[in-house]
Amino acid sequence: MIVLPPDKYHEVDLDQVPFDTYFAKAVLVGHLTGKVYTNSIERPTTFYILHPYGLSLLVGDPNEEFEQHLIEYMFGKRTTHSSYEWMQVHPDHWNNRIKTLLGSRLVPPQEPYDRRNIELHHRVNFSFHEDRFREYIRNKKRPLPAGFRIVDIGSDLFDSIEGTVIPKSFWDNSGDFLRRGIGFCIIKDEDIVAWSYTAWVHGDLIEIGIETDARYRNRGFAELVSIRFIEHCLDNDLTPVWSCRLENTGSYNLALKLGFEEIRRMPFYKLSLNEKI
């Protein structure tokens, strides 16, 4: 796997990929700094696009040398994954090759996680129905509890939000985020309770990133801050985009509540942390 220089990113064509590739496109268009690996600088036919959050996309033609490097990479032998990495592939024959190459080391989601294996999850794409969203908030939207308020994410909050799914993981800096995106936080006193924000944007499509602080989960805050984000999209002629792991039942069910409909699910590979094998 050879690092493709950014001035050659135009060689990567994602137009024929039938699922949501916005995280990969964010890297290719320079909305943030990621990496692209390929099989050849002179004649690239296979690409591995890595978003710094830990999402990756493998596209192109299988070839024996690249496959060997890929398997070593997936198990952390060529690089140390700083955290879990989640990979999608296209076209579908990559899924068949991965099954063959991994054999018994490709397993369903397990608890506890065994880093000697690669887990097979599923990623879901949704379409948005404004009428369903408006019906839901008209009939079932709950008020924000007393003592809580929703505020915009400015540069100070951009740097202050700590968690797993946070703006700093999707943007190089607050300036780029504020120039291209938007975000909202629920605040209580000095606590940042929950947040929703632009994970990536392409034209009028804007994908939501969302998380709730562990101390405030299961109290409806994710729903309220998501509603604020979607309302902003509709007020500004933007289309909200939602994707998540099928196994993330909280995110999946919240999407259905808020007017999204599942349209597609794909294999989603959880790559190992560094493993000496």
C-alpha of 104 from chain center = 27
Cβ 208 vs Cβ 197: under 8 Å? yes
Fold of 130-258: Aminopeptidase (3.40.630)
Please report the pLDDT score of residue 167 as a whole number.
96
pLDDT of residue 68: 84
The whole-number pLDDT of residue 276 equals: 44
DSSP string, 132-176: HHHHHHHHHPPPPPTT-EEEE--HHHHHH--SSS-GGGT-SSHHH
What does the domain layout of the chain look like in residue ranges? 2-122, 130-258
pLDDT at residue 173, as a whole number: 95
pTM for the predicted model, two decimal places: 0.92
Query: Is 130-258 in the same CATH topology as 2-122?
Result: yes
CATH architecture of 2-122: 3-Layer(aba) Sandwich (3.40)
How buried is residue 276: exposed, middle or buried, by Cβ count under 10 Å (0-12/13-18/19+)? exposed
Tokens 């890595």, residue?
A: 50
- Low pLDDT (below 50) residues in the chain: 275-277
In Å, how far are 24, 84, 98, 122, 261 from 87, measured between CA atoms? 11, 10, 11, 10, 23
Nearest to 231 by CA among 261, 208, 213, 214: 208
Q: What are phi and psi of 143, to 5 degrees?
A: -75, 160
3-state secondary structure at position 231: helix
pLDDT at 238: 97
Q: What is the reported pLDDT for 151?
A: 97
For the segment 62-99, what is each residue's pLDDT rounded down to a tens digit? Answer: 878 888 888 888 877 665 555 678 999 999 999 999 99
Strands 106-107 and 118-128: parallel
- The Cα 86–Cα 65 span in angstroms is 22
pLDDT at 78: 60
